[in-house]
Amino acid sequence: MALIWPPSGDAYSYGDFSAFTAVQAHPPERASVRRSDGSDRFVGVFHTEPDDVNRWGKPDSQRCEALVDHLLRGASQGEECWFAWESLFTLESFAPEAHWNVFTQWHQHGGHGPPPWAVAVDTRTMQWKLQTKGGDELDAPTPTIPTLAGSYEPGWHAFLAFVSWGQDNGHTSLWVDGDLLFDLSTPLGFSPDAKGSVRNYLKQGIYGRRQSVPRDVVHAALRIGDAREDL
């Protein structure tokens, strides 16, 4: 058993985005890594302004995310992985009265539409939302399944997730602040990338409906392991 990614520490502990493959933000400086207030810990800060343009999605949306697109173990059919992180949300972090406020997701290659695994906040009900999808986008995918649980409040939150990838028989669990909120047997699908590899890739930041005020989401301590004890 071992830490899968990053090689040491956590994804933000390097003081920049060097552990990631790319940043999707326009302009690019909307995403940054800096020291947390009153701490030596580095965190990722993801910021949007009302007039920001999303070049990687719907025109009525805003995106500021970092992604890791390596061939990671735990991101392919039949494999399992554990991942953990912490997030800080403010009252303005998410669009009001919206189900579409994604802050961490595993996205499929070679296709559009909802990802096979995403965690979000539904501000219509003020609950955590886990969204899953199975099938293969080259064929007819199974429907997207949104599930709500718990009560969302601004502030720091700690997340722990388990995923067993499977087109037809996947499984996922998500703990928020130590409480198991989601434990689902559900299809978790894939699409091939340009080279024919079938895998998903991790994205973190903020992606959701455009809103009329600036917003920030802060993420920290992101890491992926073979087992829970690796984290």
Query: Domains of the chain: which residue ranges?
Result: 3-230
**Spatial distance between the Cα atoms of 178 and 137, rounded to a whole number of angstroms:** 34
User: Mean of the per-residue pLDDT values for the chain?
Assistant: 89
Tens of pLDDT, residues 186-205: 988 876 665 666 778 999 99
- Tokens at residue 14, please? 């390097």
How far, rounded to the nearest angstrom, does the alpha carbon of residue 137 sit from its chain's CA centroid? 20
CB 226 within 8 A of CB 92: no
Distance between CA atoms of residues 147 and 30, nearest Å: 30
> Per residue in 67-96, pLDDT tens?
998 656 657 788 899 999 999 999 999 999
Is residue 209 within 8 A of residue 57, CB to CB? The reply is no
Best CA proximity match to 76, nearest among 228, 196, 197: 197
Asked if residue 48 has pLDDT above 80, the reply is: yes
Single-letter amino acid code for the residue at 173: S
Which tokens hold the place of 176? Answer: 């928020």
Regarding the domain delimited by 3-230, which CATH topology (the fold level of the hierarchy) does it fall under? Jelly Rolls (2.60.120)
